[in-house]
Amino acid sequence: MGKYKDELTRAMTLLSEDKRTIFIGQQLVFGGNPMSKTVENISNDRMIEMPVAEEFQLGYCTGLAMGGNIPISFYPRWDFLILASNQLLSHLDKYYLMSDGDVNPVVAIRCAIPSVDPLDPGYQHKADYTDAFDSMLHHVNVVRLIKSDQIVEEYLKILEPDAKPTVFVEYIKYYEEK
């Protein structure tokens, strides 16, 4: 078992081996946030670089999932995923329930809680809404990735036949584990 960031990188690499997966978000192809470092060894043709359009991004991912793909959607902060909460709460979480289990779009949502050290990102960029969203979601799983030894196993669950859409909550402070 490796360090936290190494295990995230390994999980993304393993997911990329499945032809159904597509990596979608801001600063993936062009880098710029800690999450982007975990997909550096994945071919750019497996990634879709998005503009700042968080709600559209999750709606787009849900549509891709309904077509049989498994999108891995990147939100480097909970505060950014808040902007996609309509798509998450009213659509992705409800399709399975509204269709009596016939429609189950599986989207993996990577969401991070940033570190406040060495630079505090400010109140509008460091919130943790994990408990609130966990209480509101009925079909979407919410998984806190606290320990590096759980990362690969949890991410690979989205490839299983009975997978559910999942919000994976990562902790940037663990990315620099020694």
R_g over Cα of the chain: 15
Q: Position of tokens 């990188």?
A: 9
pTM score of the predicted model: 0.94
Q: How many domains does the chain have?
A: 1
Q: What is the CATH number of the domain that holds 153?
A: 3.40.50.970
* 108 neighbors 72 (Cβ within 8 angstroms): yes
Range of the domain at 13: 4-174
What per-residue confidence (pLDDT) applies to 25? Answer: 95
Mean pLDDT confidence for 138-148: 97
pLDDT one-digit tens code per residue, 49-93? 999 999 999 999 999 999 999 999 999 989 999 999 999 999 999
What's the CA gap between 73 and 3, in Å, rounded? 22
Mean pLDDT within 118-124: 67
Helix axes 148-156, 4-16, angle to 10 degrees: 20
Q: Confidence class of residue 31 from pLDDT cuts 50, 70 and 90?
A: confident
**According to the model, what pLDDT value does residue 132 have?**
96
- CA pair distance 12, 21, nearest whole angstrom: 10
